[in-house]
Amino acid sequence: MKCNECGFDYPEEILAPLMTSSGNVASVCGICALELSNQVLGVERTEFQGEVAESFRLEALRIRKEKKK
């Protein structure tokens, strides 16, 4: 399944719903979720504090790295 933000293909179970400002729910990878939430909150986090969210972000990074090989 593709991330609605970056378009990269991931297993559906690591994508998470993210509510947009227009009220739409999009499935995004952990990488994009962190970037988008940083933009909305006006912060510059490099990782999630929540264990599950961070595990999804790390898995997305691993998948991207593997597919680039």
- Residue 7 in any domain: the answer is no
For the entire predicted model, the pTM comes to 0.87
Any idea what DSSP says for residue 53?
A: H
Would residue 59 count as lying in a domain? Answer: yes
pLDDT score for 45:
97
In a domain, 35, yes or no: yes
Does residue 2 sit within a domain?
A: no
**Which pLDDT does position 26 carry in this prediction?**
85
Q: Radius of gyration of the chain from Cα atoms?
A: 12
DSSP 19: E
pLDDT at 22: 66
* Domain annotation covers residue 6: no
- 3 domain residue, yes or no: no
Domain for residue 48, yes or no?
A: yes
pLDDT averages per 10-residue partition of the chain, 69 residues: 94 88 81 91 95 95 89
pLDDT at residue number 19? 79
- Domain count for the chain, please give it: 1
Please report whether residue 1 resides in a domain: no
Cα three-residue angle 8-10-11, rounded to 5 degrees:
165
Which residues share a beta bridge with 64? Answer: none
